[in-house]
Amino acid sequence: MITLNNISKNFGSFKALKNIDLEVRDGEFLALLGPSGSGKTTLLRIIAGLAFPDAGNVAFNGDDVTNLKVADRKVGFVFQHYALFKHMSVADNVGFGLSVRARAMRPSKAAIRARADELLDLVQLGGLGGRYPAQLSGGQRQRVALARALAVEPQLLLLDEPFGALDAKVRKELRRWLRQLHEQMGLTSIFVTHDQEEALELADRVVVMDHGVIEQIGTPGEVYMLPGSRFVSGFVGDTNSLPVTVSRGAVKFHDRPIALDTGSIADGPALLDFRPHDVEIANEQPGCLPLVVTGAYRRGGYWRVEGTVGGISQVIEVDLDAANPAPEPGQRLALRIRRGRLFTTDGVQA
């Protein structure tokens, strides 16, 4: 188990991380998700021992490793741009970690080579050990980087934007493959990403970060369905956000009542967030949102409809079942919001 306790890190006057507490369970696949500048990569580097916190400590299985160098932490790190050694063959890259061990602990050259070949088979690059990194495709380089990190038998695998430099198709394939590999090996793994789709698809749990703090920790389902803050709601998945007012248990948008449970939110201005697919067409009736269609296109099994509500300035997107006739520009639709979440204007959940 990895335990982070009250970690803070500043770069000059910039506060990269503020009092981070986090526990990573054995064998889990954890995603650190956030926009650039959220501190996710810094946090990963602190776990690796490539950066050191200004305050707080890091423990692996109860042992304090805060002051331990990266070489002594037994972590495998896969870098965003792979950081392969260009002047070494693929097999030498993979065997590097074994070949730099002190003589007493270093396996023979043949054993290192055998281990490298074994790992290259594991990452489906068998037979390519004699190539040089420049002769490989992006996806292949990524897998070499992974094999190299696994060669030292780390107790923890850390991946920084593992798919960031790949094109969309390769990215999708590699994602599925990595998920399988994780299930096969059961190695505790943490990866950093700014792509919410990637985090939701791959991870057992997602840590959503922004401005150096953790906004929410939860399973992909929890983070998507029950966003803990306005930020999470907006960052994870598509979201519409409407300025509303709450008074005496009723939600109003432009003086029009919206049928929704207000929960415990105080009276006053608030934000109403709802996903595009959390609406349905209703007959004109109290509690509905009137939408003027500006455009629509087919997206798989549904219509993605763009339109305005309450005047031209407020644009929203909703998904309607493809069984409906194609919405025409100018058409008026009455929408009922099936599921929405209210936040105070400073982003805290009601």
Tally the residues of the chain: 350
**Would you count residue 11 as binding other proteins (CB under 8 A)?**
no
CA-to-CA separations, 276 to 13, 20, 231, 238, 245, in angstroms, rounded: 39, 33, 17, 7, 21
Spatial distance between the Cα atoms of 112 and 115, rounded to a whole number of angstroms:
5
Which position among 1, 6, 85, 345 is part of the footprint of other proteins (CB under 8 A)? 85
- Considering the rule CB under 8 A, would residue 302 count as an interface residue with other proteins? no
Least Å distance, CB 49 to other proteins, is 8
Q: What residues have CB less than 8 Å from 345, skipping those under 6 apart? A: 269, 270, 271
> If binding is defined by CB under 8 A, does position 59 make contact with other proteins?
no
Q: Which of residues 155-174 bind other proteins (CB under 8 A)?
A: none
Residues 113-132 binding other proteins (CB under 8 A) are 132
| 170 backbone dihedrals φ, ψ, rounded to 5° | -60, -40
Tell me if 101 contacts other proteins by CB under 8 A: yes
The reply to whether 111 sits near other proteins by the rule CB under 8 A is no
User: Alpha-carbon dihedral of residues 306, 312, 314, 319, nearest 10 degrees?
Assistant: -20
**Segment contacting other proteins by CB under 8 A, of 43-51, 185-193, 215-223, 227-235:** 43-51
Half-sphere exposure of 217 (CA within 13 A, CB side): 11
17 binds other proteins (CB under 8 A): no
DSSP conformational letter for 133: G
Can residue 97 be called a binding residue for other proteins (CB under 8 A)?
yes
* Of 109, 111, 41, nearest in space to 77 by CA: 41
Number of residues located near other proteins, criterion CB under 8 A: 31
- Candidates 29, 60, 77, 231: give the one binding other proteins (CB under 8 A): 77
Angle of helix 90-99 versus helix 138-151 axis, rounded to 10: 20
Regarding 6 and contact with other proteins (CB under 8 A), the answer is no
Nearest distance in Å: CB 74, other proteins: 9
**Contact between 52 and other proteins per CB under 8 A:** yes
Residues in touch with other proteins (CB under 8 A): 48-50, 52, 67, 69-71, 75-77, 79-81, 83-87, 96-97, 100-101, 132, 134-135, 145, 148-149, 151-152
